[in-house]
Structure 1
Amino acid sequence: MPAPEAVVPGALLVEVAWEVCNQVGGIYTVIRSKVPATVEGWGDRYCLVGPYFPQTAQAEFEPLSDTQMAAAYADPVARAVKKLRQQGLDVCYGHWLVTGKPRVVLLSPYQAYPQLNQLKSDLWEQHGIPSQDNDDLLHQVTAFGHLAKLFVQALEAELAEANLQLLAHFHEWMVGSAIPALRREQTKAHLVFTTHATLLGRYLAMNDPNFYDHLLYVDWEREARHFNIETAVRMERAAAHGAHVFTTVSELTVRECIYLLDRIPDAVLPNGLNIERFVALHEFQNLHQQYKQRIQEFVMAHFFQSYSFDLDKTLYLFTSGRYEYHNKGFDLTLEALARLNYRIQQSGLEGQVVLFIITKRPYHSINADVLQSRAMLDEVQDTCRAIEQQVGERLFYQAASSTEYQLPNLSDLVDDYWKLRYRRTLQSWKTSRLPPVITHNLVDDHNDEILDFLRRANLVNNRHDRVKVVYHPDFVSPTSPLFGMEYGQFVRGCHLGVFPSYYEPWGYTPLECVARGVPAITSDLSGFGDYVQQHVPEHEQKGIFVVRRKERSFDEAADELCDMLWRFVIQNRRERITQRNQVESSSEQFDWHQLRQYYDRAYALAMERE
């Protein structure tokens, strides 16, 4: 498949990332979602390189057979793979089973472990990067960096024979150690390095509530040693300084790069998604209704055994992301929801708000009461369906045979057996206990910051609380006995996503909402929120709300977030439908087909530099 002329001519693009066929965090979403647009632009002049871990790769990687490898002799990537195999290396070559089905080379770090001592010695003597003896991740990335370097060199040699140049784009510090080695050995490849979030910046933001104010005065060496991440930070700095073109993902992280990595980024590469455009507006509205009903089933099971409320007047809000209580804005979200709870109570407004907190925490098991309540509601539903069928059949018979035109007493159409079963099922299900705020039994319940806030604020699902909380410390998945749906389906079923992050170099969670036609709240301290403020006019009318956190106190930000939530809660159903239409219609500007241009500009710049 030839690449269009708009893309950098005369070059082959290799993207190297730790999360190719290896889902660990957010970079996986970046790389995977960008693949279709990149393949469309680069065609056969594109491949990816990642680590080979059988347990994660087996579901996503399809290796080429020996016959296919033999037929691919004209392919410079295949020839480079063959050359490394002839040197005794185990190199996997095939396709990543994602949309676009790109070529991918996977390298097992463990095959370079016999050389680890020499590799660590070279890092210190040649680049001033120290090593640690008891950190397996550092061992893996050191070994992988060496193997990635060998592959880039083999591929560059093959391309030189075909009069083509090599563009090698490295993502994050885990693959960055290859860059200083490639530059030292004068490999003729044009190197791009992207930091999606500086490693030291993430640690500092988690531990300093005034991170942005103190950024100018950070002693990076002292702080890196303090957090015991000096090796990784020095790898990141070496990659940033060794690349021909250094990039980051938002204007916010530009400041971090300047003060923590001592290099001004050459370009900003905003992140996107594959935006699925629906032919008819009603289609995604129907999907919202379909998945909202699934969420309502969970809510009935979780709350209705204790007390009930009107589901037609209930709004479903959610926040999600890595468990970083301060960085991800969980603290601000909970404070604003507590204030909203009080405001709704005082206003006398009808309706309820249910907040779902979706994050990953160590747990022993799902709460037995939560599981039992879900099972009992299923039993209630089965009983009702049996009664419904019996009444339906008997009512139809009576209607056809009766000479009277009045509706009979429906209770007379139900057998005593089903009446008794109905009564006993409800008696065994109903309870006077409050619905739990958390669905699982955490390993360290007493030191969980979310639970600590809920207990202190007494936001524990009292009957009179107008804001209810469901803390789900695990991923939402189809295999979950509580939700039984994909995360994306869960998002579609909710009314609003809330992500007022304090530290978020980009922020995929609000973007995922927008892509599914769901309004979202972000902050001006997230890369996505900053991008929206600069590039999306009248963004609030399009259902994207940005909480101002720059140079503002926590209390001021909580007030603003509470006001945003209040304005959302008092909307009527028609207004919410209109807002979802506007969100969906604005989502196209975040599609990778629109945002890939930033990458292509960075690649063109790299080709100009030697």
Structure 2
Amino acid sequence: MTKELLTPDYIFESSWEVCNKVGGIYTVLSTRANTLQAKFHDRLFFIGPDFWQGKENPLFIESDNLCAAWRKHAAEKDNLSVRVGRWNIPGNPIVILVDFQPFFAQKNDIYTEMWNHYQVDSLHAYGDYDEASMFSYAAGKVVESFYRYNLTETDKVIYQAHEWMTGMGALYLQMAVPEIATIFTTHATSIGRSIAGNDKPLYDYLFAYNGDQMAEELNMQSKHSIEKQTAHHVDCFTTVSEITNNECKELLEKPADVVLMNGFEDDFVPKGATFTGKRKRARAVMLRTANCLLGTDMGDDTLIVGTSGRYEFKNKGINVFLESLNRLNRDKNLKKNILAFINVPGWVGDAREDLQQRLKSKEKFNTPLEVPFITHWLHNMTHDQVLDMLKYMGMSNHPEDKVKVVFVPCYLDGKDGILNKQYYDLILGEDLSVYPSYYEPWGYTPLESVAFHVPTITTDLAGFGLWVNSLKNQHGIDDGVEVLHRSDYNYSEVADGIKDTISAFSMKTDAEVKEIRKRAGQVAEQALWKHFIEYYYEAYDFALRHAMQRQLG
């Protein structure tokens, strides 16, 4: 007999990325909102930082009448400055943006309180620690105020905090309003990311690392401390994949109570004729840009391959992708032209005027522009990791090279001056994508790729890759996703694996490719929120039961 899950009456979720598009957590929250909104309606509240006063935020639609009485009370009685409105995303959930600046005056008292109650060490704070902590504490205060004004202890309330940046608010609520059940979600441990980013071997050696010791060595004591103490004290500790759960066990000395895998919605994937038209236009733009830059005449039979994401050269596997392209270029058996795009925002300057001139004219060009690798100038042309590696490997984008590489170092927001297409309107033009991550708690980029029916190559060090390995009927690129085994020391094998997969894919017939693209879409279907939301309901139940025991105890 399955036990009935306890369901919350109210859910509050706080994150630095509410109405603030910074990274992957924005995708988690904004795509999941619709599914939760359908079930909980306006008993779901997102809390984010308000640094938009006096500035237009297209993601936030302010409302004067939402929670008006409480808002007045919060301002007058609790000294809280909040704006209430709706998030401009599917589901349009209620959002509370809080001005956390006033809390800086109490910073030392807040840190002392956190040390006395939870041994949170804020002594070594630097960088974004203070700002994040003040927002986090303010968010906790907002929920306390809302609870005391609007709710009673018979209401089952969940407070979910995302990442170390919001841990302090969860801990504050456990002290101030013990009736509220707390959930803390880490999307990547700060120490794990730091170890990987500092070129230390993370995986083979994970069992031997001590999180506290590494925090000291890498000057991360305060972030690690809030993350670890929150993980240990909340009612339910969660993370986003089995791979990150291993980190939590070792580095935070606490395994997750529930693993909340990241789903997504495919409502931004065009269908039918719209899809076909967009794909055609994306390919035309990519080929035209490359041909103008390189002075070549690559046609529509060119295999377009791409990678994208944050500019973490090692963690995202950009280095191993470039290595594989270099090896592919030397492969005598390669029959097709390969055009590889690196869509990764760097320290970008202006769009290239010489390239813009060529793109405006109708003619074809047979001479390359100078630096025929890059669409926009960089502020650090002489110290850029992608350009450095291409130079080091001797790749030159010569007309006779079968493999050409184009680096697009800007955000694809539709107005970059060269491609002028949004990211999603461009990636559907690719034939194959490559995300050979070394450090990737989940991996939205390969998941989005297969949602657009673009087969992808990833690794088993990405949460998404591990999940694909757990699916039935998943046997490599023929089923839409190639998951390469990756460890601390097999860089060369991974480069060969990418090279061989691209090479094999380039020989597929049109009928085979059509079938592979269909299967890629089917993988994405299995990761929709309607499947993964169940883990959240499990976490709510776990947290609510734990909070009850905590109060009895």
Structure 1-normalised TM-score?
Answer: 0.84
Q: 1:300 aligns with which of 281, 291, 308?
A: 291
1:35-91: per-residue Cα shift (whole Å, max 9, x none)? 1111112212211111111077722112221x4545xx6xxxxx3773354322211
- Aligned residue in 2 for 1:387: none
1:362-395: per-residue Cα shift (whole Å, max 9, x none)? 133334xxx32332342236xxxxxxxxxxxxxx
- Aligned residue in 1 for 2:282: 291
Residue 444 (structure 1) shift? 2.7
- Asked whether the equivalents of residues 303 and 435 of structure 1 are also in contact (C-alpha less than 8 Å), the reply is no
Q: Which moved more, 1:152-161 or 1:23-32?
A: 152-161
AA of the residue aligned to 1:549: R
- Aligned residue in 2 for 1:411: none
In the alignment, the residues of structure 1 paired with residue 535 and residue 221 of structure 2 have an alpha-carbon distance, to the nearest angstrom, of 31
Residue 468 (structure 1) shift? 0.4
SS of 1:546's partner is strand
| Residues 330-341 of structure 1 aligned to structure 2 (within 5 Å) | 330-341=318-329
Q: 1:155 aligns with which of 146, 151, 160?
A: 146
1:233-253: per-residue Cα shift (whole Å, max 9, x none)? 111111111111101000001
| Residue 527 (str. 1) matches residue 463 (str. 2) | yes
1:537-577: per-residue Cα shift (whole Å, max 9, x none)? 22533311111114762122222221111111112333222
In the alignment, the residues of structure 1 paired with residue 133 and residue 484 of structure 2 have an alpha-carbon distance, to the nearest angstrom, of 40
Q: 1:478 aligns with which of 390, 393, 414?
A: 414
| Residues 35-114 of structure 1 aligned to structure 2 (within 5 Å) | 35-54=33-52, 58-65=57-64, 67-70=65-68, 79=70, 82-114=73-105
- Aligned residue in 2 for 1:138: 129
- Asked whether the equivalents of residues 74 and 80 of structure 2 are also in contact (C-alpha less than 8 Å), the reply is no
Residue 303 (structure 1) shift? 2.1
In the alignment, the residues of structure 1 paired with residue 76 and residue 261 of structure 2 have an alpha-carbon distance, to the nearest angstrom, of 37
Percent identity of paired positions between Structure 1 and Structure 2: 30
SS of 1:332's partner is helix
| Residues 464-475 of structure 1 aligned to structure 2 (within 5 Å) | 464-475=400-411
| Residue 581 (str. 1) matches residue 518 (str. 2) | yes
In the alignment, the residues of structure 2 paired with residue 276 and residue 64 of structure 1 have an alpha-carbon distance, to the nearest angstrom, of 26
| Residues 427-438 of structure 1 aligned to structure 2 (within 5 Å) | 431=367, 436-438=372-374
Q: Which moved more, 1:292-301 or 1:37-46?
A: 292-301
| Residue 375 (str. 1) matches residue 365 (str. 2) | no
SS of 2:248's partner is helix
Any unmatched runs of 5+ in structure 2? 548-553
AA of the residue aligned to 2:528: D
Q: 2:378 aligns with which of 431, 442, 465?
A: 442
SS of 1:522's partner is strand
In the alignment, the residues of structure 1 paired with residue 511 and residue 76 of structure 2 have an alpha-carbon distance, to the nearest angstrom, of 63
- Aligned residue in 1 for 2:347: 362
- Aligned residue in 2 for 1:564: 501
Residue 519 (structure 1) shift? 0.9
SS of 1:161's partner is coil
- Asked whether the equivalents of residues 199 and 233 of structure 1 are also in contact (C-alpha less than 8 Å), the reply is yes
Q: 1:233 aligns with which of 224, 227, 248?
A: 224
- Asked whether the equivalents of residues 310 and 351 of structure 1 are also in contact (C-alpha less than 8 Å), the reply is no
Give the 3 Å change call, closer, same or farther, for CA 436–356 of structure 1 in structure 2.
same
In the alignment, the residues of structure 2 paired with residue 584 and residue 228 of structure 1 have an alpha-carbon distance, to the nearest angstrom, of 43
Residue 514 (structure 1) shift? 1.2
Give the 3 Å change call, closer, same or farther, for CA 39–186 of structure 1 in structure 2.
closer
AA of the residue aligned to 1:352: N
- Aligned residue in 1 for 2:109: 118
In the alignment, the residues of structure 2 paired with residue 312 and residue 532 of structure 1 have an alpha-carbon distance, to the nearest angstrom, of 31
| Residues 187-586 of structure 1 aligned to structure 2 (within 5 Å) | 187-276=178-267, 284-304=275-295, 308-343=296-331, 346-347=332-333, 349-367=334-352, 371-380=353-362, 431=367, 436-540=372-476, 541-550=478-487, 553-586=490-523
Residue 511 (structure 1) shift? 0.7
- Asked whether the equivalents of residues 352 and 466 of structure 1 are also in contact (C-alpha less than 8 Å), the reply is yes
SS of 1:319's partner is strand
Give the 3 Å change call, closer, same or farther, for CA 315–82 of structure 1 in structure 2.
farther
Normalized per residue, the structure richer in helix is 1
Give the 3 Å change call, closer, same or farther, for CA 292–89 of structure 1 in structure 2.
same
1:218-276: per-residue Cα shift (whole Å, max 9, x none)? 13223212222211111111111111110100000111001111111111111111113
AA of the residue aligned to 1:207: N
In the alignment, the residues of structure 2 paired with residue 28 and residue 57 of structure 1 have an alpha-carbon distance, to the nearest angstrom, of 19
Give the 3 Å change call, closer, same or farther, for CA 246–109 of structure 1 in structure 2.
same
Residue 158 (structure 1) shift? 4.1
In the alignment, the residues of structure 2 paired with residue 211 and residue 173 of structure 1 have an alpha-carbon distance, to the nearest angstrom, of 20
- Asked whether the equivalents of residues 159 and 165 of structure 1 are also in contact (C-alpha less than 8 Å), the reply is no
Q: Which moved more, 1:7-16 or 1:453-462?
A: 7-16
Give the 3 Å change call, closer, same or farther, for CA 534–133 of structure 1 in structure 2.
closer
Residue 432 (structure 1) shift? 5.9
Q: 1:594 aligns with which of 531, 537, 544?
A: 531
AA of the residue aligned to 2:33: V
In the alignment, the residues of structure 2 paired with residue 136 and residue 589 of structure 1 have an alpha-carbon distance, to the nearest angstrom, of 39
In the alignment, the residues of structure 1 paired with residue 63 and residue 153 of structure 2 have an alpha-carbon distance, to the nearest angstrom, of 23
In the alignment, the residues of structure 1 paired with residue 72 and residue 456 of structure 2 have an alpha-carbon distance, to the nearest angstrom, of 45
Larger Rg: 1
Residue 120 (structure 1) shift? 2.5
Any unmatched runs of 5+ in structure 1? 1-5, 74-78, 382-425
Give the 3 Å change call, closer, same or farther, for CA 209–237 of structure 1 in structure 2.
closer
- Asked whether the equivalents of residues 180 and 239 of structure 1 are also in contact (C-alpha less than 8 Å), the reply is yes
Q: 1:19 aligns with which of 17, 20, 26?
A: 17
In the alignment, the residues of structure 2 paired with residue 353 and residue 232 of structure 1 have an alpha-carbon distance, to the nearest angstrom, of 43
Structure 2-normalised TM-score?
Answer: 0.92
SS of 1:590's partner is coil
Residue 127 (structure 1) shift? 2.9
SS of 1:335's partner is helix
- Asked whether the equivalents of residues 290 and 406 of structure 2 are also in contact (C-alpha less than 8 Å), the reply is no
AA of the residue aligned to 1:152: V
Residue 456 (structure 1) shift? 1.6
Residue 434 (structure 1) shift? 5.9
AA of the residue aligned to 1:483: L
Residue 498 (structure 1) shift? 0.4
Residue 162 (structure 1) shift? 7.4
Give the 3 Å change call, closer, same or farther, for CA 184–38 of structure 1 in structure 2.
same
In the alignment, the residues of structure 2 paired with residue 602 and residue 57 of structure 1 have an alpha-carbon distance, to the nearest angstrom, of 36
Residue 277 (structure 1) shift? 8.8
- Asked whether the equivalents of residues 112 and 143 of structure 1 are also in contact (C-alpha less than 8 Å), the reply is yes
In the alignment, the residues of structure 2 paired with residue 263 and residue 134 of structure 1 have an alpha-carbon distance, to the nearest angstrom, of 23
In the alignment, the residues of structure 2 paired with residue 96 and residue 278 of structure 1 have an alpha-carbon distance, to the nearest angstrom, of 20
- Asked whether the equivalents of residues 204 and 487 of structure 2 are also in contact (C-alpha less than 8 Å), the reply is no
Q: Which moved more, 1:276-285 or 1:561-570?
A: 276-285
Residue 528 (structure 1) shift? 0.3
AA of the residue aligned to 1:575: E
Residue 439 (structure 1) shift? 2.4
1:342-367: per-residue Cα shift (whole Å, max 9, x none)? 11xx12x4431111111122133334
Give the 3 Å change call, closer, same or farther, for CA 453–184 of structure 1 in structure 2.
same
- Asked whether the equivalents of residues 12 and 158 of structure 2 are also in contact (C-alpha less than 8 Å), the reply is yes
AA of the residue aligned to 2:108: N
Q: Which moved more, 1:440-449 or 1:187-196?
A: 440-449
SS of 2:267's partner is coil
Residue 470 (structure 1) shift? 0.7
